[in-house]
Amino acid sequence: MRIILLGAPGAGKGTQAQFLMNKFGIPQISTGDMLRAAIKAGTELGLTAKKVMDAGQLVSDDLIIGLVKERIAQSDCENGFLLDGFPRTIPQADAMKEANVKVDYCIEFDVPDDVIVDRMGGRRVHPASGRVYHVVYNPPKSEGKDDVTGDDLRIRDDDKEDTVRSRLGVYHEQTKPLVDYYQAAASNGLCKYSKIDGTKAVDDVSAELSDILS
Ligand code: AP5
Ligand code: ZN
């Protein structure tokens, strides 16, 4: 099963990707997590990406397309994958089409901007696994610690309110057009398209996803 999770920053893509990965046994391909790993490793890609990400802007299409093509060619993607945070521009979606990468489902998470700003203030992450928490809405079992490893949780560098607002602006300008793009693909029978209410509680959103994908 090949699934695109489409939605604004903080809409819940990473949270639900963890649920879907466990349920369907397919890998999460989070371009944001890949870039953060490159920053941590101090690679050339990481150095380029850091400045752009800290400003809340998008990394260049060429870099991202290369990264994703390489990742989906790996053997664990043979039975499908979850694209989390990709594609997020029309050229990225076109590149997938040109490479003949078909998707089965495109799922849009609908969450208003004011809810997102509130969520990002309380987000805590476990970078090594991609697990995501919220101090109020999805708290870890032990405060400040990852449920599985017990490692310390972190605040993402781009979760400052100003940066979140820039990222939301970029989303509306450059990523939202993909809603029409994939709805058109669905009406031509190329994939299925569903829009879900991402403001519901985490478990309710997971239940809705299970229904759509069953
Ligand atoms: P990326 O890491 O992809 O960030 P994003 O798309 O901005 O999305 P987030 O990870 O912020 O949010 P999410 O939807 O995963 O929400 P989450 O589940 O964490 O990208 C970062 C940067 O990398 C970009 O700005 C860009 O610079 C670059 N980049 C990445 N991909 C790129 C690409 N393709 N092209 C170019 N540049 C790229 O949830 C958020 C919070 O809400 C958490 O605290 C969570 O616990 C909580 N929460 C989740 N669901 C609920 C719920 N239902 N109710 C209450 N709280 C909830
Ligand atoms: Zn995410």
pLDDT tens string 40-82:
999 999 999 999 999 999 999 999 999 999 999 999 999 999 9
Quote the pLDDT of residue 80.
Answer: 96
Read off the CATH number of the domain in which 9 is found.
3.40.50.300
Residues in the ligand 1 pocket, defined by CB under 6 Å: 7, 9-15, 31-32, 35, 52-53, 56-59, 64, 85-86, 88, 92, 119, 122-123, 132-134, 137-138, 158, 167, 198, 200-202, 205
Q: What is the mean pLDDT of residues 29-38?
A: 96
What is the total count of domains within the chain?
Answer: 1
Q: Best substitution site from 5, 45, 52, 59 to test ligand 1's pocket, by max atoms within 8 Å of Cβ? A: 59
CA 138, CA 191: separation in Å to the nearest integer?
Answer: 31
Q: Best substitution site from 3, 6, 20, 31 to test ligand 1's pocket, by max atoms within 8 Å of Cβ? A: 31
Quote the pLDDT of residue 66.
Answer: 95
Q: What is the mean pLDDT of residues 85-114?
A: 97
Strand bridging mode 81-84 / 192-197: unpaired
Distance of CA 35 to the CA centre of its chain: 12
Nearest to 35 by CA among 24, 19, 47, 23: 47
Range of the domain at 62: 2-213
- Ligand 1 atom at minimal distance to the Cα of residue 16: 18
Question: Position 73: which residue type?
Answer: A
Q: Is residue 54 a contact partner of residue 156, using CB atoms and an 8 Å limit?
A: no
Q: How far is the CA of 13 from the centre of ligand 1 (A)?
A: 6
Residues 6+ apart with CB under 8 A from 191: 102, 103, 104, 105, 106, 182, 185
pLDDT above 70: percentage of residues in the chain: 100
Quote the pLDDT of residue 141.
Answer: 97
CA 145, CA 140: separation in Å to the nearest integer?
Answer: 7
pLDDT tier at 91, thresholds 50, 70, 90: very high
Residues 6+ apart with CB under 8 A from 197: 110, 205, 208
- pLDDT single digits (tens) 137-147: 999 999 999 99
Q: At what angle do helices 161-170 and 113-121 cross, to 10 degrees?
A: 140
On the question of a cis peptide bond just before residue 139, with omega within 30 degrees of 0, the verdict is no
C-alpha dist (Å) from residue 143 to 111, 115, 119, 168: 26, 23, 17, 29
- pLDDT single digits (tens) 110-139: 999 999 999 999 999 999 999 999 999 999
How confident is the prediction for the chain on average, in pLDDT? 96
- As annotated, the active-site residues are 13, 88, 123, 156, 167
